[in-house]
Amino acid sequence: MAECHDSSSLRLFTLGNTAQSRRLWLNDIPENGADVAHLNAVHSPSLLTNLGERYPFLLNFVGQHTWSAQWTKGEDHTATMTLSHNYTFGKFSVFRIDALATQIGPAHVRLLIHTAFGPILISQSVTPLSPLEQKVIHRFFSPAYNAPLTAAFVRGESFMFERDVVIWNNKRFVSSPAYVKSDKTIRAFRSWYSQFYSEGSLSFRDALRRHREPLDW
């Protein structure tokens, strides 16, 4: 297993984890990182209050999350995403976060987060339980002195993940999707991710043709 950049020299402690089972495709979860445009579309509303969502004119007062990211495929079984976050009140920004996510293989991600209070490492693993059921586990590591912030991250990450679940539950699959300019990283991700499928991998379309119950393969 490859080491996460800059994490091998840190003394980290396990400070929390979350485990969830979801009905979705295995590649939907890591593809989320390549969907750069969704960050501000889905994850900008404040985790502190929903007043900004209900009353947009209050956004400058309650604040919102702003994101910027860049996804890059590697030359092998890895890919990376650099991520920056600010919590903004109008023109004012606080709580900057810089992070590096490393995708290792089809179902493992390590996210190394740098905050003003110290580092946090999040490990995400996805284990298929059945064709459309995945077990997602997030483990949180940080120095002991950063435990209070890490505890807040455990809760915040769970809320953010649920926002993604809403999108996944309404996702439609088409044979020839029309990509727009903002989807270029998604298209690049799908091309990169295809290396993890073998020539004998059964597609959803083939499953429908061969089986009365499409989940029985």
Give the pLDDT of residue 217: 45
CA pair distance 13, 150, nearest whole angstrom: 11
Which sequence spans correspond to the domains of the chain?
13-210
Classify strands 64-73 and 118-130 as parallel, antiparallel or unpaired. unpaired
The whole model's pTM is what? Answer: 0.82
Ramachandran quadrant class, 164 (left: phi over 0; alpha: psi -120 to 50; beta: rest)? alpha
**pLDDT value at residue 205:** 64
3-state secondary structure of 63: coil
**Is beta strand 92-104 parallel, antiparallel or unpaired with respect to 108-115?**
antiparallel
> Closest by alpha carbon to 157, among 47, 56, 64, 54?
47
> 13-210 sits in which CATH class?
alpha beta
Residue pLDDT tens, the chain, 217 long: 444 545 555 666 677 677 777 778 888 888 988 999 999 999 999 888 887 778 777 778 888 999 999 999 988 899 999 999 999 988 888 899 999 999 999 999 999 999 999 999 999 999 988 777 889 999 999 998 988 899 899 989 888 998 998 888 887 777 777 888 888 899 999 999 989 887 766 665 665 565 555 555 4
